[in-house]
Chains A and B, each alone.
Chain A
Amino acid sequence: MRKIGWSEVTPRADWLNRRQLMAAAGVIGLAGPAFARVEARPSRFSTDEKPNTFEEISNYNNFYEFGLDKADPARHAGALTVDPWSVEIAGLVERPGSYPLDDILKSVTLEERIYRLRCVEGWSMVVPWIGFELRELLERAGVRPAAKFVAFETLVRPEEMPGVRSRILDWPYREGLRLDEAMHPLTILATGLYGEEMPKQNGAPIRLVVPWKYGFKSIKSIVRISLVETMPATSWNMQNPREYGFYSNVNPAVDHPRWSQASERRIGSGFFAPRIETRLFNGYEEEVAHLYAGQDLKVDF
């Protein structure tokens, strides 16, 4: 497979220019936290809800490769080697190959996307991700017309991931999107949050964020992206197909078989903070509802 340097694709002058724009945005206070190490443009897709603290976001994680407790990833992910890192792009693409992360990052526009995150377990957060649209990377790789779905895989490295000794899921962790979902501008690959590089427990160095779906769809520490013709197998669906569908769109009207999805608790809002009504597509209905026109969301859950 041919290795592609992104500098071949994007003229240097262009991204230099982009950096200058971002610097200018920083001067007038548009570029997020004042001491941000990762520069990112603000986005019209960001919510104005108050983000959770960095502490909350980085100490309450479901990342079973590092253990089942919410605090396990923060405890154990420190050993993960995230540099060097490359993502293999395979399947129905014009330019398959191993794409080094630093090359990927040279070619994309980093934005700050402040998104709601709704976990299938009934809690939610607001996270100021930094990332770029998945579409940008897929377009670089050149999606072939036959491709209908995108499949993702997480790293499996037992010596750095104590949780994979447990057979709780069939590793590697797998996720997937329909191509139109993957190409949607809300769908990002995130490489940082709060102006910092992505904490390892949050899926460093590169993870998916699909804000209108339950959190488990937003696969972490991605090493492989394949464009495929048929709906790919996904980890939670393989584990329990009755409870976790391929789509897993946030939907208060479609309960988990064992618990209600009607409302959620916002993490970090205190002992007596009111529960929040869960919204269809996690509040991104206007942006994404058209993707599912004609589909019965109770069947395609």
Chain B
Amino acid sequence: MIAQRINGVLRPVPTGFVYAAGLVPLALLVWQAATGGLGVDPVKAIEHRLGELALQFLVGVLAISPLRWWTGVNLIRFRRAIGLLSFFYVCLHLSVWLALDLQFRWAEIGADIAKRPYITLGMLAFVAMIPLAVTSTNGAIRRMGASAWTRLHRLTYLVAVLGALHFLLLVKAWPPEPIIYLGCVLFLLGLRAFRALRRGG
């Protein structure tokens, strides 16, 4: 009942609205950066916030199917927008790391990617997102065929785990935030495994 009403309310919402809404945090971040609202270390604040946004959109993408299975609320139509927003924020996050944090010191960047597990995992997640972003068009789905496309896009699961681990491995000690993100990702993947097992058995 409630799910149907929500679906009814969402039906006329254009996906463009999701893109626009997804850029609001960026606008806010730019405004904070311009007005000195990011505290004493704005580079770190921007870098961290962009990564966090990418993870949040990624968790959002993973939540869409379980939400439909267990509540009937159908957000599938917005999934591509949410996924692409996640990729967009990952690109910005990576750019800030390269340009403002490491400042194109390629020797250090190369060493970090090769030697630092959290950066290696982050880069892997970024690379794995590229084919997903590139195939985020109706044309690509047609060309690939739905089942091949679906298989490819299961890479999202790997990306989400890598992204959450990337966060967890860069912090000192065991603060709650990265643990919560990893928990969300594992929970949402667990729901999929649970459903697959139940349907298979």
Contacts and interface: CB of A to CB of B under 8 A. Distances in A.
Interface stretch (A38-46, A152-160, A183-191, A264-272): A264-272
B105 A70 contact: no
A265 B108 CA distance: 14
Contacts of B108: 260, 262-263
Given A168-B174, A258-B169, A263 B41 contact: no
Contact of A259 (B39, B43, B100, B116): B116
Contacts of B170: 258-259
A272 B46 CA distance: 13
Which of A68, A169, A260, A268 has the most CB atoms of chain B within a 10 A radius of its CB? A260
B9 interface: no
A169 B40 CA distance: 25
Contact of A274 (B43, B44, B103, B176): B103
Contacts of B175: 68, 168
Given A70-B39, A260-B108, A272 B117 contact: no
Contact of A265 (B101, B112, B115, B173): B101
Contacts of B101: 265
A47 interface: no
B112 A260 contact: yes
Contact of B102 (A169, A267, A268, A275): A275
Interface residues of A, number: 29
B118 interface: yes
Contacts of A268: 40
B40 A55 contact: yes
A80 interface: no
B40 A271 contact: no
B172 interface: yes
Contacts of B42: 271
Interface string A107-140: 0000000000000110100000000000000000
Nearest to A71: B39
Interface string B22-42: 000000000000000001111
Given A68-B175, A168-B173, A275 B40 contact: no
Contact of A260 (B40, B116, B174): B116
Interface string B46-86: 00000000000000000000000000000000000000000
Nearest to B33: A271
Given A56-B40, A70-B40, A272 B100 contact: yes
A270 to B, nearest CB: 9
A296 B42 CA distance: 37
B52 to A, nearest CB: 13
A240 B169 contact: no
A240 B173 CA distance: 8
B127 interface: no
A247 B116 CA distance: 23
B111 interface: yes
Interface in A167-196: 168-169
Given A263-B105, A268-B40, A239 B100 contact: no
A111 to B, nearest CB: 26
A268 B42 CA distance: 9
Nearest to A169: B173
Contact of A70 (B41, B115, B173): B41
A237 interface: no
A259 B171 CA distance: 10
Nearest to B173: A168
A31 B88 CA distance: 52
Nearest to B40: A60
Nearest to B112: A260
A98 interface: no
Contacts of B43: 265, 271
Nearest to A121: B172
Contacts of B172: 120-121, 236
B3 to A, nearest CB: 37
Contact of B173 (A60, A239, A255, A271): A239
Interface of B: 39-44, 100-103, 105, 108, 111-112, 115-118, 169-170, 172-176
15 contacts: A59-B39, A59-B40, A60-B41, A70-B39, A71-B39, A120-B172, A168-B175, A240-B173, A258-B118, A258-B170, A260-B115, A262-B108, A267-B40, A274-B103, A275-B105
Given A166-B176, A271-B100, 7 more contacts: A60-B40, A70-B41, A120-B172, A240-B173, A260-B116, A267-B40, A267-B41
